[in-house]
Structure 1
Amino acid sequence: MEDFEAIEDFMMNGHKVYLPHMSIECVVFGYENRHLKVLLVKLRNVGWGVPSGYILKEEGLTQAAKRILNERTSLDNIFLKQFHVFGDSKYRISKRDDEIWDRLPENNWLADRTLAVGFYAIIDCSAANIKQDILIEDYKWVEVNEIPDNLLLDHNEIIAEALNTMRKQIFNEPIGYNLLPEKFTLPEIQILYETVLNKTFDRRNFSNKLIAMEIIVKLNEKRNIGQHRSPFLYSFHETNYLNALNEGVVQAL
């Protein structure tokens, strides 16, 4: 009963608290077991899409995105980038008149034309504590090549644009730093870049370039993964890595 009243209050009075006509859509990427995944949430009695929310009337865009993601994942200090404004799809051009919104009262603020500001985030799947609430009844992590093609509204387009942007920015933003553990092996960092970019690198050239540019540092530690298999561990040299990103040097990979 309390949930129903809270949903009704949001539907009827949300425009008093939030900016109408504009939403935040967050594409949350996670890297787990050598797979790049996207977080999908199920809007109660409606369908699956990316985590979304509205902007408080006295709140900045990035501040709103951070709040929405914190409410959904319980994480702070998330790597977060604004990447696109969505307003050209059939769901954004005219007043919402499809079946999703038929249940709304006439002239309700949620049914009006709404533009979306897209952000993409990168988190550790295992560190996230995904929360459900009065609007979200379920969630799941889905591999990027297994995303269903019938997500809510234009969320398939939003995910595709976010993935394309992240692939372009992996050489200019600390994406690898945010997706790998503090200590990793050479195969692990290569597999990360190959997974995100969906391409293959020459094994020896890839690692040699990273080491030569002093982007990664060999540690005096090994990982015991089996008989006669104890590869050395590496870590990012944070200063060199960030400098290389700023100078575009990493693109030489």
Structure 2
Amino acid sequence: MNTRQEVLDFVHNGHQHYLPHLSIDCVIFGYHAHQLKILLIRHHGHEKWSLPGGYIARNETLTQSAHRILAEKTQLSNLFLQQFYVFGDSATRMNRIETHDTHNTTYAKVGVALGENHWLSERTLSIGYYALVDYLNVVVTPDLLVDAYCWQEVTDVPALDFDHNEIVQKALMTLRAQLYQQPIGYNLLAEKFTLPEIHALYEAILGRQFDRRNFRKKLLTLGLIRQLEERRKIGPHRSPYLYEFDPENYQKALEEGAVLAQ
């Protein structure tokens, strides 16, 4: 929502177009300089950061809504997107007064004060999705109600609004658990990469170091990557082979579920 009129229409008529009690929160993972990061935003009048998200349109499926919201926030499409949890048990989501006050702080920018029974003040369940994006390709779309955005390393996430710290931790746990079950990395690395580069990515996701000896064999066995004849010249006596993801096997793994034992 980039204009005041769009925001006002959303506030007054949004319940006609969106499901009032159900939203999507997106944990958008990006990888840069050997660090795994997430995209955070800060709404107008707020001191704390939060996750980007949005409401589910009445004529959309959950997946369609998640892809739309992600495209609106990053200008990217056809990304790895995974639903991982439903959030509704936290005290924050149960506290309607806190939710009401928080929304009033945000919408004060357009001169709107929400009534206690306004649809935006109702208790809302959140469906969590995580996405994997190319950090360099993300273009964050300006939003009238968002004052700032940043990329924050997952090991240094500050206290967030609502229950978003819980959502981030659950997304990270899910990503790590699925690292050897899903073709993670397709959207996080360049088109061609070396084994040390994909090894560094996996270490950044797991938050620990691990043995390289069987790493190449594991990935090749899964069939998600293939070795190229091309090499990258790094320096004297250092010309490692380049690798690329196999799109056909990658898509097959997405559809059928791939398994790679550690």
TM-score (normalised: structure 1): 0.89
The residue aligned with 2:110 is: none
Structure 2 runs not aligned, ≥5 long: 105-112
Whether 1:21 and 2:30 are equivalent positions in the alignment is no
Distance in 2 between the 1:18 and 1:86 partners? 18
In structure 2, C-alpha distance between the alignment counterparts of 1:213 and 1:82, rounded to whole Å: 23
- Whichever residue aligns with residue 61 of structure 1, its letter is L
- Matching residue's letter, 1:139: Y
Aligned counterpart, 2:42: 42
**Distance in 2 between residues matched to 1:154 and 1:94, nearest whole Å:** 11
After TM superposition, the structure 1 = structure 2 runs for residues 48-127 of structure 1, keeping only pairs within 5 Å, are: 48-97=49-98, 99-101=101-103, 104-127=114-137
Task: Deviation per CA, 1:173-227: give whole Å up to 9, x if none.
Answer: 1212232222111111111111111222212222244346655322111112233
Give 1:5 deviation, angstroms.
4.1
How many pairs does the alignment contain?
250
Considering only aligned residues, what root-mean-square deviation do their CA atoms show, in Å?
Answer: 2.3
* Candidates 215, 218, 224, aligned match of 2:227: 218
User: Partner of 1:186 in structure 2?
Assistant: 195
The amino acid across from 1:62 in the alignment is T
Relative to structure 1, is the Cα distance of residues 52 and 230 closer, same or farther in structure 2, using a 3 angstrom cutoff?
Answer: same
C-alpha contact 1:96 1:113 (8 A) present in aligned 2: no
Q: Write the distance in 2 (CA, Å) between the matches of 1:247 and 1:22.
A: 28
- Choose 118-127 or 97-106, whichever is displaced more: 97-106
Report the identity percentage.
49
Q: Indicate how the Cα distance of structure 1 residues 212 and 68 shifts in structure 2: closer, same or farther if over 3 A, else same.
A: closer
Q: 1:7 to 1:237 in 2, by over 3 A?
A: closer
Q: Which residue of 1 aligns with 2:107?
A: none
Aligned pair partner of 1:146 in 143, 156, 160 = 156
Runs of 5+ consecutive residues of structure 1 not aligned to the other structure? none
C-alpha distance in 2, partners of 1:144/1:240?
29
Alignment of 1:209-248 (within 5 A): 209-211=218-220, 215-239=224-248
1:194 aligns to what SS in structure 2? helix
Given that 2:182 and 2:257 are in contact with CA atoms closer than 8 Å, whether structure 1 keeps it comes out as no
Q: Is the 8 A contact 2:34 2:200 kept in 1?
A: yes
Measured in 1, the distance between the counterparts of 2:58 and 2:248 equals 38
SS at match of 1:49: coil
Preserved CA contact (<8 Å) 2:135 2:188: no
**Deviation of residue 50 (structure 1)?**
0.8
Higher mean C-alpha displacement, 52-61 vs 41-50: 41-50
